Amino acid sequence: MVNFNKQKGMIAILTGGGDVPGLNPAIRAVTVRALREGFQVIGIRRGWAGAIGLQRDQHADNRENFLVLTEEIVNRAGRTGGTFLHTSRTNPSAVAKSSVPIHLQTTYSAEKNDLTDEVLKNLDYLGVDYLIPIGGDDTLSFAVKLYKKGIKVLAIPKTMDNDVPGTDYCIGFSTCVSRTIELVNRLRTSAGSHERYLVVEVFGRYAGFTAMLPTMAGAANRCVIPEYKFKMEQLAALLTNDRNKNSSKYSVVLVSEGATMEDGALIVEGAATDAYGHAKLGGIGDLVSARLKDCSAQFNNGKTINVVNQRLGYLVRGGDPDAIDSIVPMAYGNLALDLILQGIHGRLVVLKNGRYDNLPLDVVTSTKKTVNVAKYYHTERLRPKYESFEMRPLFIMTSD
């Protein structure tokens, strides 16, 4: 075991999966509160990659795998975007042969390797009493596995898709929505100048929240989401009508990366998948743009309508967090510490109906969080429903 001066105990924090604004404020909140309560805090670098990369040797250089956290370190990073601990999409349950750390390659030589036992040994070597992973459903699904093997886990939900089950809010979502609205509004001038359709592809593999909320806020006329297969002709007719009613002669649709047409399949980039078996999505916006242009004339008196096509991608996950993604991570970090001080573990901190709470950790793997189409999406209009807002939480669509 590493010889730390632990006082009350050791807390380890890690960030996994995609980066979002709000991760550094969460790390800061956990660290500052924990240090003041008498705990030692370390950050595991590069998500689960650091947890498998550690060498259990007092003479080994493990600076790439973990970092002792201080108030100075976290205060310096706490107002910025991204994660200063870095991140990865590593899945310790299924590590490719090429990704096995060098010092473990003689032990693990299969094409896919389960390194869960190495993570358990490494956490024990570090003397970790509590583990706080910050991530989406993939990162947290492995945290559930560790909890079932005896690790004391308090999890914090993070993903701009806002699709971690059990919570109405995941770190990164508000900034994503804010950026989407801002960037779409910038693109309006080009769409209007050329009298075109504006097609904007946004994140959202399984859930359409990142398309629904900006549309609801007025950033777009229509949106298509993963939860509902849409008809191209229906979208073209609606957008053409929107365009014709607009004095600037343009209309806007947000397209979730996981959206599919009624007669099509998911659009993926290449055959490779990540460590959790997910194909890299992207390109549905290109296809929608091409198909819109091809069929536009039949809804526009025989005249073709051209398209402004833009994939927002990392533009919505870069930069500093907005106000909500500065406040919620602070609260989530302190919620995790409240639970630790009560000796409680195996929980996911959440926002539920506008109030902070916590739920059993395995809610992450027991269900899926997607848009309730019947409740929130108008399938004939291809847009959110603007009704029944009374007593709804801030972002309207909850983890039902």
Q: What percent of the chain has pLDDT over 90?
A: 88
Q: What is the pTM of this model?
A: 0.94
Q: Residue 391: its pLDDT value, please?
A: 87
Residue range 10-171+323-366, CATH number? 3.40.50.450
Residue intervals in the chain for CATH 3.40.50.460: 175-313+373-384
Identify whether 161 is a catalytic site residue. Answer: yes
Tell me what pLDDT residue 266 has.
64
Mean pLDDT computed over 210-238 = 97
Backbone angles phi, psi at 364, to 5 degrees: -60, -35
Catalytic residue among 129, 161, 163, 325: 161
Question: What is the location of CATH 3.40.50.450 in the chain?
Answer: 10-171+323-366
Domain 175-313+373-384: homologous superfamily in CATH: Phosphofructokinase domain (3.40.50.460)
pLDDT of amino acid 355: 94
The mean-pLDDT minimum among 179-188, 280-289, 299-308 falls in: 280-289
CB 130 within 8 A of CB 9: yes
pLDDT in tens, 188-207: 999 999 999 999 999 999 99
Contact in structure between 377 and 228 (CB atoms under 8 Å) = yes
User: Percent of the chain scored above 70 by pLDDT?
Assistant: 94
Residue 157 vs residue 275, higher pLDDT: 157
Packed helices 284-296 and 232-245: angle between N→C axes, nearest 10 degrees? 70
Pick from 102-116, 198-212, 263-277, 341-355: least confident: 263-277
CA distance 366 to 381: 32
Question: What's the rounded Cα separation, in Å, for the pair 163 and 367?
Answer: 11
Residue 274 clears pLDDT 70, i.e. is over it: no
- Round to whole Å and give the CA distance between 185 and 111: 47
